[in-house]
Amino acid sequence: MIVAERVWRMQRLSGRVAMVLLTLALLCLFDGLRGGFLGSSGQIRLIPGERYLLSGPMPPKTDRIEDFVIEGAPADGALRLVAEGVFTGFMFGGGMWRGYLDADMRAVPGNYEIRVRDRFGEKQNPALVFSVRVFAGAEDRRAASPSMVTRWIAVEPRLLAACLGALGILVGCWNFLLGRKWHGELVAHGCGEVFRMKTVDGRAEVTADMGSPCDIPQGATFRFSHPLRGDVGYGTVVSCEKGHVTLYVANNAQVRPGDIACPVTV
């Protein structure tokens, strides 16, 4: 049973590791969503020297980029919106444009609101209002991030959540395989794991999974044990069918689900 005990310890450890990894993945995902809902949602965050690609619907009554009216950008051109081309929308077929926001090395840190509209005075389309915040540098931007993960380790929380989640699933699969190995080791030694407990006529009764059709006579004695707690008591077979053995537990036995039931050989 030495090999079986090692498998059990590895399975237990892998289960805890998988639980920790998946919990951390959920926390990172929550942090990313929280940053989107409670942070500066929709804000474009730039540092000098960066370029941000964007697109949007065409302003009302406007078919050409040359007819765009762009407001809110600094007069010195250190932060500017450049529309490069027009294309047809994928979903509804309407006119769209693509371009970029460019912050050169002269860009002054601060908040800006850049608007794209038509030259006819139509109502401003909210989708063509871009909130931009320029930071002095990458460290300033990271320190002001709404995500705790980004502030602490400079990593996108949803990317970290995906990595931790994938790793947690892999460890969970390993845990599953170890569980099958552990079960196989028990079957090879004629033992089973207790998976159910109940009280019948004032006596504790447990059921153990023997893993295969069993032929154990009624009244046979089994010993209960646990890899960490050692021997915990004895029981007597009540019935054995469909690979499950049911036993009455001795009054002084401290049996729990997960304990191992093995026949006592004379």
Distances from the Cα of 39 to the Cαs of 44, 48, 104, in angstroms? 12, 22, 25
96, with CB counted inside 10 A (0-12, 13-18, 19+), is: middle
| The residue type at 60 | P
Residues whose CB is less than 8 angstroms from the CB of residue 137 and which lie 6 or more positions away in sequence, other chains included: 47, 48
What pLDDT digit, counting tens, does each position of 212-227 carry? 777 788 888 999 988 8
Q: How many angstroms separate the CA atoms of 153 and 164, rounded?
A: 15
CA distance 97 to 34: 31
pLDDT tens digits along 121-139: 889 999 899 999 999 999 9
Query: Which tens digits make up the pLDDT trace of 168-210?
Result: 999 999 999 998 888 888 888 888 888 888 887 778 888 888 8
Say how far apart CA 200 and CA 207 lie, in whole Å: 12
The letter for the amino acid at 211 is G
Neighbours of 257 (CB within 10 A): 12
Look at residue 92 in the predicted model and tell me its pLDDT: 63
